[in-house]
A and B are shown apart, each in its own frame.
Chain A
Amino acid sequence: MGAASVGFPIDNYWPLLTHQFLHGGWFHIIANMWTLWIFGDNVEDRIGPGRFAIFYLLCGTIAGSTHLLTNPDSTVPSVGASGAIAGVLGAYLLFFPTARLVVLFPIFFLPLFFEVPAVFYLLIWFFSQLLSGTAAVAGPQQSGASRGGRTSADLSAGCFSADYLRDEVVQRNQMNTRSNGRGSRVRVEKIGE
């Protein structure tokens, strides 16, 4: 009896994409979507909507692939946008390293507001992924270690991709500056050559 007999399409890698859009519970989806709402807009603003869409899906796919390769024997479905969002957070951290956040810290029934560096919150986010397993794990059977593998992989994937994007953005900005502000000077130099 093979995997196909229970309805698993064998040579179908679409789950690497589709798993990003499934969530296992209210907390899982609210935490993910709220994080995306807060941090996604700035990264999208910085790199443009088209590239943001590709970047998001790519990070989710890389995270899913990493999970697949680091837990090859797992028979538990893994779902969630956490991998893609980890990539967005990695990009946010590189683009806006000095950003600050207003956070709500409820103590009993008293809502307290604090301002903290975004880095501080992002670190807590990653550690909470390691510990509590909001990291896109559908089943309770998943071991903590595998979550760790997945989250750190997400983080590095996000940082690497964001690093690449940042280089591109910097280059593009420099090109813009050249054509706008100092465009004539560059042209003169070229003509002079």
Chain B
Amino acid sequence: MFPIKDSVPSHSVPVVTRALILINVLVFFFELMLPPQSVEQIFYLFGIVPARFTHPDWAPPVSDFRSTITGRF
């Protein structure tokens, strides 16, 4: 089931909605241009990794970190 349009008319140009979509799409295309390892690093740095905030002592040993990267792709 895929929505095509809704019944509510909009009286203004949705500038912010369009800008948000554009930003998301541009970021995604930027991700596509990068090698998977870099995308993974971006996800870890700019995504929410809860343990990073709640367990400041925590870090996957560097070798484990690498293996999760390669294991996923």
Contacts and interface: CB of A to CB of B under 8 A. Distances in A.
Contact of B56 (A10, A37, A45, A105): A10
A118 B17 CA distance: 19
B50 A104 contact: no
Given A38-B5, A49-B16, A104-B4, A2 B59 contact: yes
Given A2-B57, A37-B17, A72-B54, A8 B45 contact: yes
Contact of B55 (A15, A39, A73, A77): A73
Interface residues of A, number: 68
Contacts of A7: 41, 45
Contacts of A19: 46-48
A15 B48 contact: yes
B17 to A, nearest CB: 4
B54 A73 contact: yes
Contacts of A53: 16, 20
Given A3-B56, A16-B48, A64-B48, A103 B12 contact: no
A71 B50 contact: yes
A1 B59 contact: yes
Given A19-B48, A38-B5, A77-B48, A56 B59 contact: no
A6 B60 contact: yes
Contacts of A6: 59-60, 62, 65
Given A22-B42, A32-B24, A101 B7 contact: yes
B33 interface: no
A104 B1 contact: yes
Interface residues of B, number: 47
Interface in B1-54: 1-8, 10-12, 14-17, 20-21, 23-25, 27-28, 31, 41-54
B67 to A, nearest CB: 13
B4 A113 contact: yes
Given A22-B31, A45-B12, A75-B49, 10 more contacts: A2-B59, A6-B62, A22-B43, A23-B28, A37-B21, A41-B14, A67-B48, A73-B51, A99-B7, A121-B3
Q: Which 9 A-B pairs have the closest CB atoms?
A: A77-B47, A41-B14, A40-B17, A79-B47, A72-B54, A18-B46, A77-B43, A100-B7, A3-B59
